[in-house]
Amino acid sequence: MERRVVVTGLGAITPIGNNVCELWDGIKQGKCGIDDITLFDTTNSKVKIAAEVKNFNPEEHFDRRNAKRLDRYSHFALIAAREVMKDSGIDVEKIDQTRFGVAISSGIGGLKTIEDNNETLNQKGSDRVSPMFIPMATINMAAGNVSIEIGARGESFCMATACASSTHTIGEAYRIVKHGYQDMMIAGGSEATITPLGIAGFANLKALSTQNNKERASIPFDKERSGFIMGEGAGLLMLEEYEHAKKRGAKIYAEVVRIFCNIRFIPYNISITRRRRWSKSNGKCSKRSWNKLK
């Protein structure tokens, strides 16, 4: 059975606003979230700027224990999830919690936690590595932490597909609701990779802009483009089955009517001619599969 899926809640924490309203105001004002990196010393880094979340202190959102025991990317996910829950107006005590799931993606998870514990390992030995290292760093912990806090007892998972992770996760959550496995899914992504290793890795891959002029660094459609700018934050949606949302009088922002997924990865050793031919044929295969599933 295929069902209609609508968006009934929004949540965000971003470089241009720490909630949805601030984000939207920032967009309307043409605000730039790029500035000098403050999260680490960039003296020896080729890249000096990034899009950090501003004025963020975890102790303003969490007790001291969770401020220290959760990675920054989990902090962002939880803050965005709280906003989604408030915006959607869902009372978990009045729904079937086993029909309420969470899908929050991340490209790499707790990178800062990984870096810090690797440094501890090298400088102080294995016995000093934090027992919370794995629970803090694991890529699915944002989804897990959100599920625990809000009382969602349905599906809880993370998809890691690089830059497509969040969009991919929203698409899969849409399918889960559409085909009747869940009635509601919080879906989206969270990332916190503005760290020495994260910046160095992407910079040495020649993926980041080394312009270091925040007004000219992120120019994706310009002939002088030299790379992208590392950002951080979280963005989440509440996806809900239409009749379920209508019955409880939910505010409906939009309806998700279709998704399309296609692989665009091209091995480096393929010639340009073959590359084009491979991409076209792959697109046809994906389309045929989609049409068949419909």
Domain residue ranges of the chain, discontinuous segments joined by +: 5-259, 269-294
Q: Could you read off the pLDDT of 93-110 as tens digits, one per residue?
A: 999 999 999 999 999 999
Q: Residue 261 has what pLDDT? A: 79
Predicted model pTM: 0.88
Alpha helices per DSSP H over 2-128: 20-28, 64-69, 72-88, 111-124
- DSSP β-bridge partners for residue 12: 235
Q: Residue 291 has what pLDDT? A: 43
Q: Residue 262 has what pLDDT? A: 75
| Fold of the 5-259 domain | Peroxisomal Thiolase; Chain A, domain 1 (3.40.47)
Q: Residue 238 has what pLDDT? A: 98
- 211: tokens are 């312009």
* Residue 102 vs residues 156, 248, 273: alpha-carbon distances, Å: 5, 20, 42
Stretches in the chain below the pLDDT threshold 70: 263-294
Phi, psi of 275 (to 5 degrees): -60, -45
Of 73, 28, 53, the C-alpha closest to 193 is 73
Q: Could you read off the pLDDT of 276-289 as tens digits, one per residue?
A: 444 444 444 444 34
Number of residues in the chain: 294
